[in-house]
Structure 1
Amino acid sequence: MENETYDCGIIGAGLAGLSAAILLSRLGYKVLVMEQKQFPMHKVCGEYVSMESYDFLENLGLPLSKMDLPMIRNVNISAPNGSMLSQELDLGGFGISRYLLDDLLAKKSVECGATLKENTKVFDVRYKDEKFEIFTNNGNFVTKLCIGSFGKYPLFSMRHIKKSINYIGVKYHIKSDRIKRDVIELHNFKDGYCGVSAIENGSACLCYLTTADNLKNHGNSIQELEKKILMKNKYLKSIFERSVFVFDRPMVISNVTFESKRPVWNNILMVGDASGSIAPLCGNGMSMAFRGAGILSELLVKFLNGQIDRKDLNKIYTEKWQDNFEKRIKVGFYLQKLFGRNILTNISISMLKYLPFISKKIIRLTHGDKF
């Protein structure tokens, strides 16, 4: 075990965890980030970021304004029957790959003074006498605070999590003259939906979510699933047929579920997907992760300065998390149930085409204000 005690240990170098590491480290706190993989790396994720977090990322030190990133101002949503809803986005967003974004954040955290330990898997965390002991394959560490930023998959034994419908996520990077730089597309198909949007270097991210049963019913063949189900949507058929696929094979994640979790578990403070599984239809899980990191970091500074105790920290963070995210997650949950059901989606998209004020309101409910 290291003799040094860190002010904060962060399990998982996700967007929220790395953002918190930057915010705390540049104030002089000793921060340890433990990541089981190694940067840079791809992640299965829709790579659209709402403008609500643009200023936040620039303030972290990411030079977004100098990167010629696609600025996305419109959304096109299609139903399986081909009905299309086009809507201007209030704030809009920008496209950037997780490969680039996560790597920039990781490098910035180290530059600010954080200790980043890659290839480090956490096996257990024990809280005793106001300290956390974190057990890993790369040694054991003692910290005053512990943040969980390990994504959708539970760490070790978190028995409060209830099982729900099991999904898979599939992602490609593509190049296509079919994709516009200023539009994010959301295409529905039986038991799933697919998002397509431009990212850096002339590429686009194509990422879809569907039930594990949908894949199983097609012999566990991604290719068969795409051919028999996704391409029944004429817009997806056009994209698949007119694109050059950058990856040799798709990136796939399984056992994806969307259920309620706790912002605080055994005094570990959860951020991002670890705090509550964020359905893609919440509008922007990445911006929610960034916002959560900002909220939590302010409270951690108060705790480390002795302004609040641990009980208050846990209570206030839970309240702020609920105020900022609970409604968005619920809206995403209900939209998740609607999308991918052929008849319901066909009817809903057809109706919303003639009720733009309602569609605008729904989109607004899934996004937040600038921070």
Structure 2
Amino acid sequence: MKWYDAVISGAGPAGCSAALSLSRKGYRVLLFDKARFPREKICGDGVTAASTELLEEMGVLELLRQRPGSLNAFTGATFVSPGGAVVQGRILQNGALQGGSYVIARTDLDECLVTRVKEHASITFLDNTEVTGLVMEGDRARGVRTSAGEFSGGVVIAADGAYSPIAKQLDLWNRDKRQQGFAMRAWFSGVEGLGDSIELCYDKAMLPGYGWIFPAGERRANVGVFLLPRFTDQRSTKRLFESFVKENAFAASRLKRAVMEPGTLKSWPLPFGSFAGRRGRGNVLLAGDAGSFIDPITGEGIYYALKTGRYAAEAVAHALERNDESAALSRYEQLWRGEFSTRIYFPGYAFQHFMNNEWFVETFMRYTARKQHRADLLADVVAHNRKRRDLFKLLNPFY
């Protein structure tokens, strides 16, 4: 049986990022996905400048540029308070990032990621092959069990989504309802008044979540809701989506003549990065949604998937260089916690409580709307162009 340095389950942003990073370091990689590509993937499809910089380095943005209509740029973010106050922020005004921000359909994004993967001889890619679990040898994973048989590798990276069978087998699955969100989206045609800004509406029925309208071409938009079950009854997701589309004043004005595209209304879970558990065990690492790396404030996951895929690759290389597969997990925990844990995830989880208060949200939005530099700061934080701690500047009455 052929042996690989790393076996990766899931060929989305996290899995492809890990595979490409390892390949560039000279390692042999086996990458699986249960779907046949190209395939549809449910997502809000917003890709911030932090993500596009990573995609540029991977050569993926170059492929997307060659696809007409794939890149729908946005240069601003519009926030709407429960009472109708509008904050219009501009992105990339004061930050260090150089990349653009886009709405990119995940079908296109993931297909371009896989296209780059296929160009590397050191990566074996098997789609339409489902990973069902780990093959264990004591406390170590010898490889994975799939619909096509068993495959062996030094380190296993699970990048197979929120319902990861590998995370469940290791009892690392995020079951904490306080650390989970939920989203529902649909594509609409004939949307009026779209510009070059993504739009986030903080409707009082959904706080601390929000509804969104992301422009994706001529009068077309990705429309959805982001909900937190610990504050909002998850069973009412569809009702809240319909209420947002029809009854929220801002959204209704955009969508009054729009048509929902058939078969596009779908929902998915969002496991938050503030989940306290470790993201692996032994020689197995969890990346992307499988590792519960979603932003607790925005529900955004693409950047964290790309980044944790890269961190997983760095950890694998660190371990293999030392001929000690168990060293991968400690290195991985050090990398992701050092950047995300105390700077983004836990402050974001705490901020949810403030955003659950309608008075706070209304006051915060109206204060931010009064000066353009405040609105720009808020937009830049959402777009990963400013540090999360910069949000606290907006609590200063003299800023």
Tell me the TM-score normalised to structure 2 length: 0.79
- The match for 2:235 is 216
Unmatched tracts of structure 2, length 5 or more: 387-399
- The match for 1:99 is 107
Query: Are the structure 2 counterparts of residues 188 and 230 from structure 1 closer, same or farther at C-alpha, using a change threshold of 3 Å?
Result: farther
Moved more, 85-94 or 64-73: 64-73
Instruction: Note if contact 2:186-2:260 (Cα within 8 Å) is conserved in structure 1.
Output: yes
Instruction: Note if contact 1:80-1:233 (Cα within 8 Å) is conserved in structure 2.
Output: no
Q: Does 1:352 align with 2:368?
A: yes
Matched AA of 2:86: M
Identity %: 23
- The match for 1:171 is 185
CA distance in structure 2 between the partners assigned to 1:108 and 1:55 by the alignment: 16
Query: Are the structure 2 counterparts of residues 151 and 266 from structure 1 closer, same or farther at C-alpha, using a change threshold of 3 Å?
Result: same
Matched AA of 1:279: D
- The match for 2:307 is 291
- The match for 1:194 is 211
Give per-residue Cα distances to partners, 1:122-149, cap 9 Å, x unaligned.
2221443866221122211111111111
Instruction: Note if contact 1:71-1:181 (Cα within 8 Å) is conserved in structure 2.
Output: no
CA distance in structure 2 between the partners assigned to 1:309 and 1:83 by the alignment: 56
Q: Does 1:272 align with 2:282?
A: no
Alignment partner of 1:59 out of 57, 62, 65:
57
Query: Are the structure 2 counterparts of residues 331 and 202 from structure 1 closer, same or farther at C-alpha, using a change threshold of 3 Å?
Result: farther
Instruction: Note if contact 2:155-2:325 (Cα within 8 Å) is conserved in structure 1.
Output: no
Instruction: Note if contact 1:331-1:366 (Cα within 8 Å) is conserved in structure 2.
Output: no
Moved more, 191-200 or 31-40: 191-200
RMSD: 3.0
CA distance in structure 2 between the partners assigned to 1:117 and 1:4 by the alignment: 14
CA distance in structure 1 between the partners assigned to 2:162 and 2:286 by the alignment: 11
Q: Does 1:157 align with 2:169?
A: yes
Query: Are the structure 2 counterparts of residues 366 and 215 from structure 1 closer, same or farther at C-alpha, using a change threshold of 3 Å?
Result: closer
- The match for 1:134 is 144
CA distance in structure 2 between the partners assigned to 1:336 and 1:158 by the alignment: 29
Query: Are the structure 2 counterparts of residues 295 and 226 from structure 1 closer, same or farther at C-alpha, using a change threshold of 3 Å?
Result: closer
How far 1:293 sits from its partner (Å)?
2.3
Give per-residue Cα distances to partners, 1:162-190, cap 9 Å, x unaligned.
42146432111223453535211111221
Query: Are the structure 2 counterparts of residues 308 and 266 from structure 1 closer, same or farther at C-alpha, using a change threshold of 3 Å?
Result: closer
Give per-residue Cα distances to partners, 1:274-305, cap 9 Å, x unaligned.
2234136357421222222223323433433x
Q: Does 1:205 align with 2:222?
A: yes
Unmatched tracts of structure 1, length 5 or more: none
CA distance in structure 2 between the partners assigned to 1:88 and 1:245 by the alignment: 29
- The match for 1:244 is 259
How far 1:253 sits from its partner (Å)?
2.6
Moved more, 161-170 or 235-244: 161-170
Instruction: Note if contact 1:46-1:205 (Cα within 8 Å) is conserved in structure 2.
Output: yes
Query: Are the structure 2 counterparts of residues 227 and 145 from structure 1 closer, same or farther at C-alpha, using a change threshold of 3 Å?
Result: closer
